[in-house]
Amino acid sequence: MSWLILCLAGLFEVAWSTGLKSTEGFTKPLPTVAVVGAIAASMWLLASATKTLPVGTAYAVWVGIGATGATILGAVIFKEPLTLARMGFLTLLLISIVGLKMTGQQA
């Protein structure tokens, strides 16, 4: 269950990091409220997951999900470049996340 919570925390991280652009420097109220809510949800879920998962593993997986998701959504939504090198490094990041899951504490 902790891994599911951690994945959900990562998805909220993707939401808030991608949503940052729409706040226009926190000058737009509605997007700002949504981003702050997603930050709070992401942190709360991450903290919940660390009750049973090692904090280093949980944090690395959380950041990995967030970085991968934000990069992919940035390319799709904002037309940011997604080069072969970036895709290669994202693949390595995903392999690392899977490795952490396979070698970590089972909760």
Residue 23 makes CB contacts below 8 A (sequence gap 6+) with 31, 32, 35
Q: Which pLDDT does position 96 carry in this prediction? A: 87
Q: Which pLDDT does position 104 carry in this prediction? A: 66
Whether the pLDDT of residue 12 is over 70: the answer is yes
Segments forming the whole domain that contains residue 54: 2-103
Whether the pLDDT of residue 107 is over 60: the answer is no
Chain segment 51-95, per-residue pLDDT in tens: 999 998 899 999 999 999 999 999 999 999 999 999 999 999 889
Domain count across the chain: 1
Q: State the distance between the two ends of the chain, measured CA to CA, in whole angstroms.
A: 7
Chain segment 22-62, per-residue pLDDT in tens: 999 999 999 999 999 999 999 999 999 999 999 988 999 99
Residue 5 makes CB contacts below 8 A (sequence gap 6+) with 45, 48, 49
Residue 45 makes CB contacts below 8 A (sequence gap 6+) with 5, 6, 8, 9, 12
pLDDT band at 105 (very low <50, low <70, confident <90, very high): low
